[in-house]
Structure 1
Protein backbone atom coordinates (compact mmCIF):
# COMPACT_ATOMS: atom_id res chain seq x y z
CA UNK A 1 0.00 0.00 0.00
CA UNK A 2 1.30 3.43 -0.91
CA UNK A 3 1.41 6.44 1.43
CA UNK A 4 -1.39 8.36 -0.29
CA UNK A 5 -3.66 5.32 -0.32
CA UNK A 6 -2.95 4.61 3.36
CA UNK A 7 -3.74 8.19 4.43
CA UNK A 8 -6.80 8.28 2.18
CA UNK A 9 -8.11 5.10 3.80
CA UNK A 10 -7.55 6.52 7.30
CA UNK A 11 -9.30 9.76 6.32
CA UNK A 12 -12.31 7.89 4.90
CA UNK A 13 -12.68 5.37 7.72
CA UNK A 14 -12.26 7.90 10.51
CA UNK A 15 -14.44 10.38 8.60
CA UNK A 16 -11.81 13.10 8.96
CA UNK A 17 -12.20 16.40 7.14
CA UNK A 18 -8.65 16.60 5.78
CA UNK A 19 -5.60 14.59 4.83
CA UNK A 20 -3.70 16.55 7.47
CA UNK A 21 -6.05 15.23 10.15
CA UNK A 22 -5.52 11.70 8.83
CA UNK A 23 -1.75 12.22 8.96
CA UNK A 24 -2.06 13.46 12.54
CA UNK A 25 -4.21 10.48 13.58
CA UNK A 26 -1.76 8.07 11.95
CA UNK A 27 1.26 9.68 13.60
CA UNK A 28 -0.36 9.81 17.04
CA UNK A 29 -1.52 6.20 16.89
CA UNK A 30 1.70 4.71 15.56
CA UNK A 31 4.00 6.68 17.86
CA UNK A 32 1.97 5.51 20.85
CA UNK A 33 1.86 1.95 19.55
CA UNK A 34 5.64 2.04 19.11
CA UNK A 35 6.02 2.98 22.77
CA UNK A 36 3.77 0.12 23.84
CA UNK A 37 4.95 -2.86 21.77
CA UNK A 38 8.36 -4.56 21.70
CA UNK A 39 10.92 -2.64 19.64
CA UNK A 40 11.44 -5.56 17.25
CA UNK A 41 7.73 -5.68 16.44
CA UNK A 42 7.64 -1.93 15.86
CA UNK A 43 10.58 -2.25 13.48
CA UNK A 44 8.96 -5.17 11.62
CA UNK A 45 5.74 -3.22 11.29
CA UNK A 46 7.56 -0.11 10.08
CA UNK A 47 9.27 -2.18 7.38
CA UNK A 48 5.92 -3.27 5.95
CA UNK A 49 4.36 0.19 5.84
CA UNK A 50 5.08 3.05 3.44
CA UNK A 51 8.38 4.67 4.46
CA UNK A 52 6.87 7.97 5.66
CA UNK A 53 4.34 6.12 7.81
CA UNK A 54 6.84 3.58 9.14
CA UNK A 55 8.98 6.43 10.40
CA UNK A 56 6.34 7.16 13.06
CA UNK A 57 7.17 3.76 14.57
CA UNK A 58 10.93 4.31 14.43
CA UNK A 59 10.94 7.84 15.82
CA UNK A 60 10.12 6.82 19.41
CA UNK A 61 12.09 3.57 19.42
CA UNK A 62 15.25 5.23 20.68
CA UNK A 63 13.57 6.97 23.62
CA UNK A 64 15.39 5.93 26.82
CA UNK A 65 12.27 5.04 28.81
CA UNK A 66 11.15 2.47 26.23
CA UNK A 67 12.39 -1.03 26.95
CA UNK A 68 12.80 -3.86 24.48
CA UNK A 69 9.38 -5.14 25.54
CA UNK A 70 7.59 -1.79 25.38
CA UNK A 71 6.23 0.51 28.06
CA UNK A 72 3.46 -1.03 30.14
CA UNK A 73 0.43 1.20 30.04
CA UNK A 74 -3.27 0.81 30.67
CA UNK A 75 -5.87 1.09 27.97
CA UNK A 76 -6.75 4.53 29.32
CA UNK A 77 -3.14 5.71 29.31
CA UNK A 78 -2.66 4.46 25.74
CA UNK A 79 -5.64 6.43 24.47
CA UNK A 80 -4.77 9.46 26.62
CA UNK A 81 -1.39 9.54 24.87
CA UNK A 82 -2.99 9.24 21.44
CA UNK A 83 -5.45 12.02 22.31
CA UNK A 84 -2.67 14.29 23.57
CA UNK A 85 -0.56 13.74 20.46
CA UNK A 86 -3.56 14.27 18.21
CA UNK A 87 -4.88 17.20 20.28
CA UNK A 88 -8.37 15.68 20.45
CA UNK A 89 -10.62 14.31 23.15
CA UNK A 90 -10.24 10.66 24.12
CA UNK A 91 -13.41 9.28 22.43
CA UNK A 92 -12.34 10.80 19.10
CA UNK A 93 -8.79 9.54 19.59
CA UNK A 94 -10.11 6.01 20.20
CA UNK A 95 -12.16 6.19 17.00
CA UNK A 96 -9.22 7.53 14.99
CA UNK A 97 -6.77 4.98 16.43
CA UNK A 98 -9.11 2.12 15.57
CA UNK A 99 -9.39 3.45 12.02
CA UNK A 100 -5.60 3.64 11.70
CA UNK A 101 -5.22 0.08 13.01
CA UNK A 102 -7.81 -1.19 10.51
CA UNK A 103 -5.73 0.24 7.67
CA UNK A 104 -2.48 -1.09 9.20
CA UNK A 105 -4.08 -4.53 9.49
CA UNK A 106 -4.89 -4.52 5.77
CA UNK A 107 -1.49 -3.11 4.76
CA UNK A 108 0.72 -5.75 6.40
CA UNK A 109 1.29 -9.37 5.50
CA UNK A 110 1.72 -12.56 7.46
CA UNK A 111 0.91 -12.84 11.13
CA UNK A 112 2.45 -9.51 12.14
CA UNK A 113 -0.84 -7.98 13.24
CA UNK A 114 -1.59 -11.07 15.33
CA UNK A 115 1.81 -10.77 17.02
CA UNK A 116 1.18 -7.10 17.80
CA UNK A 117 -2.26 -7.90 19.14
CA UNK A 118 -0.83 -10.64 21.39
CA UNK A 119 1.77 -8.23 22.80
CA UNK A 120 -0.97 -5.93 24.13
CA UNK A 121 -3.15 -6.32 27.20
CA UNK A 122 -6.40 -8.06 26.30
CA UNK A 123 -8.59 -5.03 27.00
CA UNK A 124 -6.47 -2.69 24.86
CA UNK A 125 -6.22 -5.29 22.11
CA UNK A 126 -9.99 -5.80 21.98
CA UNK A 127 -10.68 -2.07 21.70
CA UNK A 128 -7.86 -1.22 19.31
CA UNK A 129 -8.43 -4.18 16.98
CA UNK A 130 -12.24 -4.23 17.18
CA UNK A 131 -12.68 -3.17 13.57
CA UNK A 132 -9.83 -5.17 12.05
CA UNK A 133 -10.78 -7.44 9.22
CA UNK A 134 -7.43 -8.84 8.07
CA UNK A 135 -5.20 -11.47 9.65
CA UNK A 136 -6.05 -10.35 13.17
CA UNK A 137 -9.73 -11.08 12.72
CA UNK A 138 -12.30 -8.79 14.14
Structure 2
Protein backbone atom coordinates (compact mmCIF):
# COMPACT_ATOMS: atom_id res chain seq x y z
CA UNK A 1 0.00 0.00 0.00
CA UNK A 2 1.27 3.46 -0.89
CA UNK A 3 1.47 6.34 1.60
CA UNK A 4 -1.34 8.35 -0.03
CA UNK A 5 -3.58 5.30 -0.10
CA UNK A 6 -2.93 4.61 3.61
CA UNK A 7 -3.78 8.21 4.58
CA UNK A 8 -6.85 8.25 2.32
CA UNK A 9 -8.15 5.09 4.01
CA UNK A 10 -7.63 6.64 7.45
CA UNK A 11 -9.36 9.82 6.29
CA UNK A 12 -12.31 7.82 4.97
CA UNK A 13 -12.67 5.72 8.12
CA UNK A 14 -12.52 8.78 10.37
CA UNK A 15 -14.94 10.61 8.09
CA UNK A 16 -12.64 13.61 8.14
CA UNK A 17 -12.74 16.43 5.63
CA UNK A 18 -9.06 17.07 6.24
CA UNK A 19 -6.19 15.07 4.84
CA UNK A 20 -3.88 16.86 7.29
CA UNK A 21 -5.99 15.60 10.19
CA UNK A 22 -5.71 12.03 8.87
CA UNK A 23 -1.93 12.43 8.57
CA UNK A 24 -1.61 13.86 12.10
CA UNK A 25 -3.78 11.04 13.43
CA UNK A 26 -1.73 8.38 11.66
CA UNK A 27 1.57 9.80 12.92
CA UNK A 28 0.31 10.17 16.50
CA UNK A 29 -1.08 6.64 16.65
CA UNK A 30 2.02 5.08 15.08
CA UNK A 31 4.32 6.97 17.45
CA UNK A 32 2.24 5.80 20.41
CA UNK A 33 2.29 2.21 19.15
CA UNK A 34 6.05 2.60 18.90
CA UNK A 35 6.20 3.27 22.66
CA UNK A 36 4.43 0.00 23.40
CA UNK A 37 5.71 -2.58 20.93
CA UNK A 38 9.33 -3.83 21.01
CA UNK A 39 11.80 -2.68 18.36
CA UNK A 40 12.11 -6.06 16.64
CA UNK A 41 8.38 -6.26 16.03
CA UNK A 42 8.23 -2.66 14.83
CA UNK A 43 10.95 -3.43 12.29
CA UNK A 44 8.86 -6.26 10.84
CA UNK A 45 5.89 -3.91 10.49
CA UNK A 46 7.96 -0.99 9.18
CA UNK A 47 9.23 -2.92 6.16
CA UNK A 48 5.65 -3.68 5.10
CA UNK A 49 4.42 -0.08 5.27
CA UNK A 50 5.04 2.87 2.96
CA UNK A 51 8.56 4.21 3.50
CA UNK A 52 7.43 7.43 5.21
CA UNK A 53 5.38 5.49 7.77
CA UNK A 54 8.06 2.84 8.17
CA UNK A 55 10.55 5.55 9.09
CA UNK A 56 8.27 6.68 11.94
CA UNK A 57 8.28 3.16 13.32
CA UNK A 58 12.07 3.00 13.14
CA UNK A 59 12.43 6.21 15.17
CA UNK A 60 12.48 5.69 18.91
CA UNK A 61 11.69 8.76 20.98
CA UNK A 62 11.12 6.75 24.14
CA UNK A 63 11.91 3.27 25.32
CA UNK A 64 9.56 0.76 23.75
CA UNK A 65 8.11 -2.30 25.39
CA UNK A 66 6.38 -0.13 27.98
CA UNK A 67 3.13 -1.40 29.33
CA UNK A 68 0.09 0.83 29.47
CA UNK A 69 -3.64 0.29 29.11
CA UNK A 70 -5.95 1.57 26.38
CA UNK A 71 -6.89 4.70 28.32
CA UNK A 72 -3.22 5.65 28.66
CA UNK A 73 -2.65 4.85 24.97
CA UNK A 74 -5.50 7.20 23.98
CA UNK A 75 -4.21 9.90 26.36
CA UNK A 76 -0.69 9.72 24.93
CA UNK A 77 -1.90 9.79 21.32
CA UNK A 78 -4.34 12.59 22.15
CA UNK A 79 -1.48 14.72 23.48
CA UNK A 80 0.53 14.08 20.32
CA UNK A 81 -2.43 15.09 18.14
CA UNK A 82 -3.46 17.91 20.48
CA UNK A 83 -7.13 16.90 20.28
CA UNK A 84 -9.80 15.43 22.56
CA UNK A 85 -9.38 11.78 23.60
CA UNK A 86 -12.79 10.85 22.18
CA UNK A 87 -11.65 11.92 18.71
CA UNK A 88 -8.31 10.18 19.18
CA UNK A 89 -10.14 6.92 19.93
CA UNK A 90 -11.88 7.18 16.54
CA UNK A 91 -8.54 7.89 14.88
CA UNK A 92 -6.91 4.95 16.63
CA UNK A 93 -9.57 2.51 15.37
CA UNK A 94 -9.07 3.80 11.84
CA UNK A 95 -5.28 3.55 11.92
CA UNK A 96 -5.39 0.05 13.44
CA UNK A 97 -7.83 -1.03 10.73
CA UNK A 98 -5.69 0.31 7.89
CA UNK A 99 -2.58 -1.12 9.54
CA UNK A 100 -4.23 -4.54 9.68
CA UNK A 101 -4.98 -4.44 5.97
CA UNK A 102 -1.45 -3.21 5.17
CA UNK A 103 0.66 -5.92 6.78
CA UNK A 104 0.68 -9.68 6.46
CA UNK A 105 -1.64 -11.65 8.75
CA UNK A 106 1.23 -13.41 10.53
CA UNK A 107 2.97 -10.13 11.36
CA UNK A 108 -0.32 -8.59 12.47
CA UNK A 109 -1.03 -11.58 14.73
CA UNK A 110 2.35 -11.14 16.45
CA UNK A 111 1.72 -7.37 16.72
CA UNK A 112 -1.75 -7.96 18.21
CA UNK A 113 -0.27 -10.05 21.04
CA UNK A 114 1.43 -6.96 22.51
CA UNK A 115 -1.92 -5.41 23.37
CA UNK A 116 -3.91 -6.33 26.46
CA UNK A 117 -7.56 -7.31 26.32
CA UNK A 118 -8.77 -3.74 26.88
CA UNK A 119 -7.42 -2.79 23.43
CA UNK A 120 -9.76 -5.17 21.60
CA UNK A 121 -12.09 -2.36 20.56
CA UNK A 122 -9.28 -1.03 18.34
CA UNK A 123 -8.93 -4.27 16.44
CA UNK A 124 -11.24 -5.10 13.58
CA UNK A 125 -12.56 -8.62 13.67
CA UNK A 126 -14.32 -10.27 10.77
CA UNK A 127 -17.86 -11.47 11.46
TM-score (norm 1): 0.86
Q: Measure, in 1, the Cα distance between the counterparts of 2:99 and 2:16.
A: 17
1:128 and 2:125 matched: no
> How far is the alpha carbon of 1:116 from its aligned partner?
1.1
- Structure 1 segments, 4+ long, off by >4 Å, are none
User: Equivalents in 2 of 1:80, 1:128: separation in Å?
Assistant: 14
- Where structure 1 has 5 or more consecutive residues not aligned to the other structure, the ranges are none
Equivalent of residue 73 in structure 2, options 78, 82, 99:
78
| Corresponding residue of 2:83 | 88
Q: How many angstroms apart in 2 are the aligned matches of 1:82 and 1:16?
A: 17
SS of 1:23 mapped into structure 2: helix
**Alpha-carbon displacement from aligned partner over 1:27-50 (angstroms, at most 9, x marks no partner):** 000000011011111111111000
Asked if 1:66 is matched to 2:63, the reply is yes
The CA deviation at 1:127 is: 2.0
Question: Mapping of 1:29-40 within 5 angstroms?
Answer: 29-40=29-40
Aligned pair count reads 127
Q: Paired residue for 1:108?
A: 103
After superposition, the C-alpha distances for 1:42-84 in whole angstroms (9 at most, x for unaligned) are: 1111110000011221122xx4x515xx111121111101111
The whole-number CA distance in structure 1 between the counterparts of 2:13 and 2:70 is 22
Distance 2:44 2:37 in 1: 11
Q: Which runs of 5+ in 2 are unaligned?
A: none
Once the 2 structures are TM-superposed, how far is the Cα of residue 16 of structure 1 from its aligned partner?
1.4
Q: 3-state SS of the aligned residue for 1:113?
A: helix
C-alpha root-mean-square deviation of aligned residues, in Å? 1.4
